[in-house]
Structure 1
Amino acid sequence: MKGIVLGGVSSGVGKTVAALSVIRALESAGYAVQPAKAGPDFIDPSHHEAVAGRPSRTLDCWLEGKDGLRRNYHRGEGDVCVVEGVMGLYDGDCSSTALVAEALELPVVLVVDANAGMESVAATALGFREYAETIGRDIDVAGIVAQRAHGGRHERGIRDALPDDLEYFGRIPPSSDLEIPDRHLGLEMGAEAALPTDALRAAADSLRIERLAAVGSEPPAPETPIEPAESVDATVAVASDGAFCFRYPATIDRFRERAEVISFSPVAGDPVPDCDAVYLPGGYPELHADELESAGTLTELGDRAAEGLPVLGECGGLMAMSRSLTTTDGERHAMAGILPSDVRMHDRYQALDHVELEAIGRTLTANAGERIRGHEFHYSSAAVDDDARFAFETVRGDGIDGDHDGLTEYLSLGTYVHVHPESGAFDRFLERVATAN
């Protein structure tokens, strides 16, 4: 499967809109598109899926390693993979867009804001291409997509100013309809704020889509091939609704490869399914705190956890596993009460980083001394009891108290860190659950 990387000159340049426009244009031209996202984000991929009709692959060097990155890419399906970058092309010490493009040996199409420039757009693109050589990176900047560019003289000025070896792949016209609302943690989810079809179609019509498809290349195969995973005798219930919506497609794929999977909605008040373990992914429990408190599912989950049902929660899942959640307006809501902690929301983010944890002892997702990598991004903080037990020391990142992460109680574990299946954490989780049966 050939692929291209849409890298931005900065955050906020309109990479997501450009990616959605390219996906729409390729689909309209008859190509089957596999969307992907550089970096650990959950929100942009939800917009990709809304347009492409298939889950977006996560490509992060820190979370997956170079070989894991290639494995995850090759698990995708389609004719062309469109990889949306993270921040600016070279930004990020652990997994920049440039590092992802280099690891996959994919060409970069630079998304440049052309709202107030013509020749300067070309100068910016030229600088981004030359900078790769300056820092010794093998990055192929093939050309540009001009974001917020008008047609006519404006478009001609940009195109004519580009040097011969930087191709003009078209433009995204300025349009108020091509704006995605945002909230804390980023944009609103794709199911909540899908862009109008007509606006996307108009943007797609301004792209040189056959040239974009032709410039793509196919990444090398991973050194360790993709092999079928051994199944385990376990059923995992996965929370899935507006409060628990931050999960990597690869995680659910891994669960389904090795075990039985059941979905349920704590927000809707679904009873806890008959299962061997529960996975609470991250999301927005703070936006659904009233429903979570009144529905009764979390209360039942707390009782089941006290009886020995393993519960694994990440970020929003940790919040829901705590005794209480206090929102920014000061409203306190009772949660599951599994973990000895009380969570409070803040107006500013409390942690944002790639993370590495070392297991203090054998725990639900790691063996003693084992290190796992992930990422954290949250607006809440957790006040924990003095006798709380932690599963991990933080080698990199903030965790729960600056030095530790992974609150553990009964057979359950709640962390602020999101991990990818390539870390091995979910395999350990399934194996622990199967052994406990």
Structure 2
Amino acid sequence: MKGFVLGGTSSGVGKTVATLAVIEALQRAGEAVQPAKAGPDFIDPSHHEAVAGRPSRTLDLWLQGRDGARRNYRRGEGDVCVVEGVMGLYDGDASSTAAVAEALDLPVVLVVDAEAGMESVAATALGFREYADAAGRDVEVVGVLAQRAHGGRHAEGIRDALPDGIDYLGRIPPSDDLEIPDRHLGLEMGRESPLDPDALAAAAEGVRTDRLLDLAREPPRPGSGDPRDGNAADGDRPTVAVASDAAFAFSYAATTERLRAVADVHTFSPLAGDPLPPADGVYLPGGYPELHAAELASARALSDLADRASEGLPVYGECGGMIALSESLITTDGDAHEMAGVLPAEVEMRDRYQALDHVELRATRDVPTAAAGERLRGHEFHYSRADLGSDARLAFDVVRGDGVDGDRDGLVEYRTLGTYCHCHPESGAFDAFVGRL
């Protein structure tokens, strides 16, 4: 599957809208599109899926390593892969957009805000291309997609000013209908705020799909096989119940795939009033429990969880899932809502983010996702703080990140684990969880 990366000049330049317009344009040209996202993100991929009709792949070198990112890319399906970058092209650490493009050997199409520029768009693109050589980076900027550019003389001026080797690949017109509302943690989810179909179709008309397909190329194969190959359970498989609704919406496509490879997966919606399904283990992904705190407080599934967890049912909650397992949640308006009460913590939402980073944890004891001494990699991004009870037990030292209590993370009670860290399946956390059921 050939592909290319859409990298921005900075955060806020309109990469997600540009990505959706490119996906729409390629599909209208008869191509089956596999979307992907550089860096740890659950929100932008939800918009990708809403337009492409298939889950977006997460490509992050900290979470997966180079070979893991290549494996995850190759698990996608379609004719062409469109990878949306994170922040500005060169911004970030080893998981920057540029680093992902290097690891996959994919060309970069630069998304530039052209609303108030013309020749300066060309100068910006040239600077981004030349910076790669100056910094010793193996990054190939092959073209420009002009965001918020008008047609006629504006588009022609941008196209004519571009130097040789940097193609004009189209424009995204300025339009209020191409704005996605945002809130804490980023944009609203794709199923909440899809772009207007007519506006998206109009934006797609300005994309040069023929040239994009000419520039796309296939990444190299991974240097090694997946160490988990052949480990899928045969015969009697454990059953994992996975919460899935607006309160528990933050799960990687690769996580669902891996769980289905090693277990029978039953999804349930606490917000819809579903009871907890019969299962050997429960996974609560992150999401927005704070937006649905009142509904969760009366959710049958949470009361079922409290009973089953006390009986020894293995439960794993990540970020929002950990919040749902706590004693209470205090929203930003000061209202307190009872949660499942499994973990000895009271969680309070704040007005600004409390942690945003890639994470590495070292287990200090055996827990559902790791044995003592093992390390897990993931990421954290949350607006809440946890006030831990005096009897709280923590299972991880934080090697990198903030954790739930400074240099510690991983609240444990019975066979339940709650953590602020979102783990990717490449870390082995979910294989470990299923293997202990």
The normalised TM-score by structure 1 is 0.98
1:32-111 mapped onto 2 (5 Å cutoff): 32-111=32-111
1-structure distance, mates of 2:332, 2:208? 46
Unmatched tracts of structure 2, length 5 or more: none
Question: Could you say what secondary structure the match of 1:426 adopts?
Answer: helix
1:316 to 307, 315, 320: 320
1-structure distance, mates of 2:280, 2:112? 49
Residue 406 (structure 1) aligned with residue 404 (structure 2): no
Q: How many residue pairs were aligned?
A: 433
Letter in 2 for 1:184: H
2-structure distance, mates of 1:205, 1:225? 41
Question: Could you say what secondary structure the match of 2:145 adopts?
Answer: strand
1-structure distance, mates of 2:217, 2:436? 41
The normalised TM-score by structure 2 is 0.98
2-structure distance, mates of 1:228, 1:325? 42
Q: Which residue of 2 aligns with 1:183?
A: 183
- State the Cα deviation string for residues 63-99 of structure 1 (Å, max 9, x = none): 0011100000000011000000000001111310000
- State the Cα deviation string for residues 123-144 of structure 1 (Å, max 9, x = none): 1111111111111110010010
Residue 165 (structure 1) aligned with residue 169 (structure 2): no
1-structure distance, mates of 2:344, 2:155? 59
2-structure distance, mates of 1:352, 1:230? 33
Deviation at 1:219, TM superposition (A): 0.4
Question: Could you say what secondary structure the match of 2:298 adopts?
Answer: helix
Determine if contact 1:272/1:301 at 8 Å carries over to the other structure: yes
Q: Which residue of 2 aligns with 1:337?
A: 341
Letter in 1 for 2:233: S
Q: Which residue of 2 aligns with 1:230?
A: 232
Q: Which residue of 1 aligns with 2:116?
A: 116
Residue 291 (structure 1) aligned with residue 295 (structure 2): yes
2:419 to 398, 412, 415: 415
Identity %: 71
Letter in 2 for 1:82: V
Deviation at 1:228, TM superposition (A): 4.5
Q: Which residue of 2 aligns with 1:207?
A: 207
1-structure distance, mates of 2:114, 2:185? 27
1:269 to 252, 270, 273: 273
- What value does the CA root-mean-square deviation take over the aligned residues? 0.8
Letter in 1 for 2:18: A
2-structure distance, mates of 1:184, 1:54? 26
Q: Which residue of 1 aligns with 2:128?
A: 128
1-structure distance, mates of 2:168, 2:370? 48
1-structure distance, mates of 2:285, 2:167? 41
2-structure distance, mates of 1:237, 1:130? 50
Deviation at 1:267, TM superposition (A): 1.0
2-structure distance, mates of 1:38, 1:30? 25
Residue 366 (structure 1) aligned with residue 391 (structure 2): no
Deviation at 1:230, TM superposition (A): 2.1
1:249 to 253, 265, 285: 253
2-structure distance, mates of 1:368, 1:323? 27
Deviation at 1:300, TM superposition (A): 1.4
Determine if contact 1:94/1:354 at 8 Å carries over to the other structure: no
1-structure distance, mates of 2:177, 2:231? 44
Deviation at 1:229, TM superposition (A): 3.5
- State the Cα deviation string for residues 277-321 of structure 1 (Å, max 9, x = none): 110000000000011112232111111100011110000000000
Deviation at 1:386, TM superposition (A): 2.3
1-structure distance, mates of 2:391, 2:197? 54
Question: Could you say what secondary structure the match of 2:54 adopts?
Answer: coil
Letter in 2 for 1:242: A
* Bigger mean CA deviation after superposition, 263-272 or 95-104: 263-272
2-structure distance, mates of 1:78, 1:130? 32
2-structure distance, mates of 1:34, 1:223? 22
Letter in 2 for 1:31: E
Letter in 2 for 1:16: T
2-structure distance, mates of 1:281, 1:197? 30
Q: Which residue of 2 aligns with 1:356?
A: 360
- State the Cα deviation string for residues 232-261 of structure 1 (Å, max 9, x = none): 621000000010000001001001111100
Residue 19 (structure 1) aligned with residue 22 (structure 2): no
* Bigger mean CA deviation after superposition, 244-253 or 365-374: 365-374
2-structure distance, mates of 1:228, 1:26? 36
Q: Which residue of 2 aligns with 1:218?
A: 218
Deviation at 1:361, TM superposition (A): 1.4
Deviation at 1:115, TM superposition (A): 0.4
Question: Could you say what secondary structure the match of 2:193 adopts?
Answer: coil
1-structure distance, mates of 2:152, 2:283? 53
Unmatched tracts of structure 1, length 5 or more: none
- State the Cα deviation string for residues 377-413 of structure 1 (Å, max 9, x = none): 0000111012311110000000001110100000010
Q: Which residue of 1 aligns with 2:393?
A: 389
Q: Which residue of 1 aligns with 2:144?
A: 144
Q: Which residue of 2 aligns with 1:426?
A: 430
2-structure distance, mates of 1:223, 1:427? 22
2-structure distance, mates of 1:396, 1:119? 43
1-structure distance, mates of 2:293, 2:94? 34
2-structure distance, mates of 1:33, 1:299? 42
Question: Could you say what secondary structure the match of 1:34 adopts?
Answer: strand
Question: Could you say what secondary structure the match of 2:47 adopts?
Answer: helix
1-structure distance, mates of 2:165, 2:252? 37
Question: Could you say what secondary structure the match of 2:144 adopts?
Answer: strand
